[in-house]
Amino acid sequence: MKRSSPLPTLALSLYGAIAVLAGCGGGSSGAPAMPPSPAPSVPSAPLLPQSGGSLALPSAGGYSGSIQLSANNAPSGTTITMGASTSAPVGAPTPQALPRPHLARGPQSLLARAPQAVALPTLLFVVSIQVSQNVTFQSTPSFSVQLPAGFSTANEAFYIAIFGGASAGAPLLATIGPASISGLTLSFSGSASPVTLDAGTTYLAELYEIATGPTATPSPVPSSSPTVAPSASPTVAPTATPTVAPTATPTIAPTATPSAAPTAGTLYELNDSASITFGAFAPGANGNVTPLASYTAAIQSPTGIAVDAAGRAYVVAYTQTGTAIYSYAYGASGNASPSTTLTTDASGWGLAIDPTTDELVATDSNHNVVEYFAPGATGAATPVRTISGANTGLNLPYQVAFDGSDNIYVVNGNGYGSVVEFAAGASGNATPIATIGGSATGLDGPEAIAVDSTGRVYVGNSVNDTITVYPPGSNGNVVPSAVIQGGTYDFLIDQAIIAVDASNDLYVCGRSNEIEVFGAVTGSPQAPIRTISGASTGISSPQGVAIVP
């Protein structure tokens, strides 16, 4: 499956969806009832009909099923060879290896930044696919998989990862799921994106599971808590609380919450170093400047940041049970507690605020969904509307941005990637009004996106650390109007690291603990007009920037 086909591939992630969940080990409650047999099946090689249709998958370890192929341009006599096993070939890519490899180039190790206490994927069944001649299918295939007898599906989600090769560096072409479960039958619906298979390449379709229910943690807790808590609490709490609380609270609170909101154009910067810290910088900040406000928050693995006109910062991050979106009032300081916490079991990634409705907009990269939450939503809130479905073209969506007409732009991070634009108010299985994608676009593992007041689109590409810029109204396989090279300016293209202000200045996180500011981008090359860096700034492993509207 060509990486340059309209079906994107992925050198990263699932640090925001399945990739964030990647690692080794598996769910606690849905393991097979018997050890899988690693013995591969004997490959079959039926003719490939141009009209498409259903073909049986080879069986292995009690797994079986079928693949539904769409209409295609297969030359006469083209065969498709499939084999199956319950383990991947030696050296082949697996879901456990999906955490974004390019992150290791940053100041932190991948291990330090990976989500903690999150269910990890378990590889179950692998199908190898080869075609005798190059073939392009009209859409990504669908799968039906029969699980072995006795397999428990309770508290488990199932996905299929399709890799464009059997070597360690093979790209991830698509992630399909979660499956619909009926008894021991898993049904996976493919997307509407075309896909090309090249002769001579071995493609791998890998079935894996992720635990979604309770882990083993609760079991030891009840046995230890009753013996310790009753004896310790009565003797300590009464003597300690009265003497400390009255003296500490009055001295801190008055200095921590300024009444004034920041002015429009104030820059927010999010650090993901030893602790999660925020800094707010005055418009036009330059050099080794001290932030207007800064504070620390107990957040794990943040992936997106947004800020509203009142200066309230919103951060999306992973938790033990899913995703949380935290909000912090402007002026918070020290080890701040969130003003609100919105929780969801989705795999959140990108974050933005709808400039017209003030709704909080987040992407669910695991399920290819964009979710809108009511202003001020907190707790286990339900989205007021979503964008999802085969027509949307969403394919591992990361960051989102809005233009002056309230159209929403979503960057798909899968492989070379794409940008899909939806009309204001879009919901359901909406069709994009424009799509930027193709070999001429320069997109390469895109993750970050911003749109300026003219409608110019900026995309941060994580594989080659570039920013590609597209004119207003761009659609299709367009050549960027400008390319800013990260190798020149030491970019760290990852997550929410670009933003534009009302003057159309572009802010980019740098790898050397700085924020680089570029004037309105009209061509290549560009040079920064300002750089915010130095010990006084508090910038350390920057992970996101946002501008007060």
Residue with tokens 């933003």: 499
Measured distance CA(470)–CA(457) in Å, rounded: 5
Residues 405 and 469 in one domain: yes
Residues 321 and 430 in one domain: yes
pLDDT at 319 (0 to 100) = 67
Measured distance CA(516)–CA(533) in Å, rounded: 9
| Domain stops at, among 177, 211, 245 | 211
Residues 203 and 283 in one domain: no
Structural domain includes residue 255: no
With 0-12 CB in 10 A as exposed, 13-18 as middle and 19+ as buried, what is 335?
exposed
| Domain stops at, among 211, 241, 275 | 211
List the structure tokens of 104.
């290791």
Q: Cis link prior to 549 (omega < 30° from 0)?
A: no
pLDDT at 480 (0 to 100) = 95
Q: Cis link prior to 432 (omega < 30° from 0)?
A: no
Per residue of the chain (549 residues), what is the pLDDT tens digit?
433 333 333 333 333 333 333 333 333 333 333 334 444 554 557 888 888 899 999 999 999 999 999 999 989 889 999 999 998 888 787 775 443 333 333 333 233 333 333 345 788 999 999 999 999 888 889 999 999 999 999 878 888 888 888 886 677 777 787 789 999 999 998 776 678 899 989 999 999 887 765 433 333 333 333 333 344 444 444 444 444 444 443 333 333 344 467 899 999 998 876 566 888 899 999 999 999 888 888 777 788 899 998 889 999 887 666 788 999 888 776 778 888 999 876 676 789 999 999 999 999 888 899 999 999 899 998 999 999 999 999 998 999 999 999 999 999 988 789 999 999 999 999 999 999 999 999 998 898 999 999 999 999 988 777 899 999 999 999 999 998 876 556 565 555 589 999 999 999 988 788 898 988 887 766 788 999 999 999 888 888 899 999
Measured distance CA(436)–CA(440) in Å, rounded: 10
Structural domain includes residue 221: no
Measured distance CA(428)–CA(272) in Å, rounded: 34
**Residue 134 maps to which CATH number?**
2.60.220
What total number of domains does the chain contain?
2
**Residue 426 maps to which CATH number?**
2.120.10.30
pLDDT at 30 (0 to 100) = 38
Measured distance CA(321)–CA(317) in Å, rounded: 11
Structural domain includes residue 515: yes
Residues 400 and 534 in one domain: yes
Measured distance CA(23)–CA(25) in Å, rounded: 7
Residue with tokens 């009926």: 182
List the structure tokens of 403.
């233009």
**Order of strands, sheet of 276-281, starting from the edge strand that comes earlier in the sequence:** 334-336, 293-297, 276-281, 267-272, 542-547
pLDDT at 221 (0 to 100) = 33
pLDDT at 34 (0 to 100) = 37
Residues 279 and 184 in one domain: no
For residue 507, which of 538, 467, 465, 447 has the smallest C-alpha distance? Answer: 467
The identity of residue 257, as a single letter, is T
Cα distances (angstroms) measured from residue 57 to each of 64, 196, 287: 6, 20, 61
Residues 207 and 265 in one domain: no
pLDDT at 156 (0 to 100) = 84
Cα distances (angstroms) measured from residue 462 to each of 13, 232, 466: 10, 51, 7
User: Strands, E, within 76-141: which ranges?
Assistant: 80-85, 122-131, 135-137
Structural domain includes residue 313: yes
Measured distance CA(495)–CA(16) in Å, rounded: 9
Cα distances (angstroms) measured from residue 117 to each of 27, 121, 211, 214, 266: 12, 13, 12, 11, 35
Structural domain includes residue 127: yes
Beta bridge partners of residue 461, listed in sequence order: 446, 466
Residues 280 and 191 in one domain: no
- Radius of gyration of the chain, Cα coordinates, nearest whole angstrom: 25
Residues 195 and 335 in one domain: no
Residues 117 and 178 in one domain: yes
pLDDT at 466 (0 to 100) = 86
CB contact at 8 A, 401 and 306: no
pLDDT at 184 (0 to 100) = 94
Structural domain includes residue 3: no
The whole domain housing 514 covers 261-547
Q: Give the dihedral sign, CA 291/293/298/302.
A: negative
pLDDT at 256 (0 to 100) = 37
Residues 67 and 166 in one domain: yes
pLDDT at 89 (0 to 100) = 87
pLDDT at 138 (0 to 100) = 86
Residues 206 and 275 in one domain: no
Each residue of 317-326: pLDDT tens digit? Answer: 876 667 889 9
Cα distances (angstroms) measured from residue 359 to each of 344, 346, 353, 528: 16, 18, 6, 33
pLDDT at 120 (0 to 100) = 53
Q: What is the pTM of this model?
A: 0.58
pLDDT at 52 (0 to 100) = 87
Structural domain includes residue 237: no
pLDDT at 481 (0 to 100) = 93
Structural domain includes residue 236: no
Residues 265 and 405 in one domain: yes
